[in-house]
Amino acid sequence: MLLLDADRPEPVRGGARELAVFLTPEPGAEAKEVEETIEGLLLRLEEFCSLADMIRSDTSQILEENIPLLKAKVVEMRGIYAKVDQLEAFVKMVRRHVSFLEAHVLQAERDHGALSQTLRKWLGSSGLPALGNALTPATALDLVRRYDVVADCSDNAPTRYLVSDACVLAGRPLVSASALRFEGQLTVYHYGGGPCYRCVFPRPPPAETVTNCADGGVLGAVTGVLGCLQALEVLKTAAGLGPSYSGRLLLFDALRGDFRCIRLRRRRPDCAACGEQPTVTDLQDYESFCGSSATDKCRSLRLLSPEERISVMDYKRLLDSGLPHLLLDVRPQVEVDICRLPHALHIPLKRLERRDAESLKVLGEAIREGKQGAQEGASVPIYVICKLGNDSQKAVKVLQSWTDLDSLTVKDVVGGLMAWAAKIDGTFPQY
């Protein structure tokens, strides 16, 4: 279809006729054909010029309408690029500071005075000592007597009893704080006639019932909250203002965002440390007293005999052999969500300890299914696994106490899933 101006066909046709006469002077069919061809070309040229004018007009209109928007976008992009540049500069600065701090931490590991020197530079003449040795009954009392207030930030029962007894013998108040998972607590012992640690806990708990941060985990912000409150109590006590939590225990629940305070029992007249007739007149072997190590590291319980345990290598051979058995994972659900062995049955230890009906039903069904694949009359052994091999031993003890499982062999896997990751499957997540 040709787009032509209705007023202009005759000039186009006249121009075509003149060109045809020029090219073919002799009239005839050939001249007529040349004239028609030239006329067609001129008409198409006219159409092209009309389209070009229309496009030029539309383009000008589009540009006029959108140029302000384009300018705004350009300004916005420039702002984004500027923020990216600022963020990149901040990341580089943080990287430099982290490298600087890491270098000082490494130096502190080689020389215990390095970190103290850095802190002294930041805090001025605060007189920070560099203590490179662990606290022991032989050194604790002399060390505590050098200071007016002691803060206990330890994560094991032997150290808590050691520090508390040393503070009682030296006549020093003890600001104690602890945290586990999403919870924390704070109190001040042996201040103004208040109770000491032994007044509240005369006897240490069984070692297998104690969970430290290395085993149970702790949210860093929780320790930050308790650390700030503990520092505040230390400052108030040192300044003579008096602590807020002497004879009271502050409980912090990070999940609910709650603080609540409970009153502790008063100083016990029969307390072995601060009572009317104390029997603790010198520091003792607190690891023997508590039945556990004075360390914050993951500890290894020994609740079972070697015959009641199996190594990860032996269990891997049993698994590869295809012998019917049941692997029971007793970790909390949050840990199972991180990683698990696909063939393991998951029942948390706490459910086993309270004989949860639904868990007993699931376990019974799994045992019956295992017997179907075993030879007639053969029992299906149960192997219990956890993260480190501690909770699995507790679970074996629980299962062994059930009379309906007397005929079954129950063992735990030594070292748990972390031993599996280290010795069997290097791709298995470690957490």
As annotated, the active-site residues are 213, 386
d(CA 172, CA 234): 12
Residues 6+ apart with CB under 8 A from 385: 327, 328, 329, 330, 341, 344, 392, 412, 413, 416, 417, 420
Contact 189, 164 (CB under 8 A): yes
- For residue 165, what are its two tokens? 């007894």
Tell me the backbone φ, ψ of residue 203, rounded to 5 degrees: -125, 140
Contact 190, 167 (CB under 8 A): yes
d(CA 102, CA 166): 34
Tell me the backbone φ, ψ of residue 130, rounded to 5 degrees: -110, 110
d(CA 342, CA 328): 11
| Residue 408 burial (C-beta neighbours within 10 Å; 0-12, 13-18, 19+) | middle
The SS3 of residue 246 is strand
The gap from C-alpha 199 to its chain's centroid, in whole angstroms, comes to 36
d(CA 156, CA 296): 6
Sign of CA dihedral 138, 143, 148, 153: negative
Contact 399, 426 (CB under 8 A): no
Place of tokens 């899933």: 417
CA angle in degrees (0–180, nearest 5) for 84-87-89: 110
Q: Are strands 248-253 and 258-263 parallel, antiparallel or unpaired?
A: antiparallel
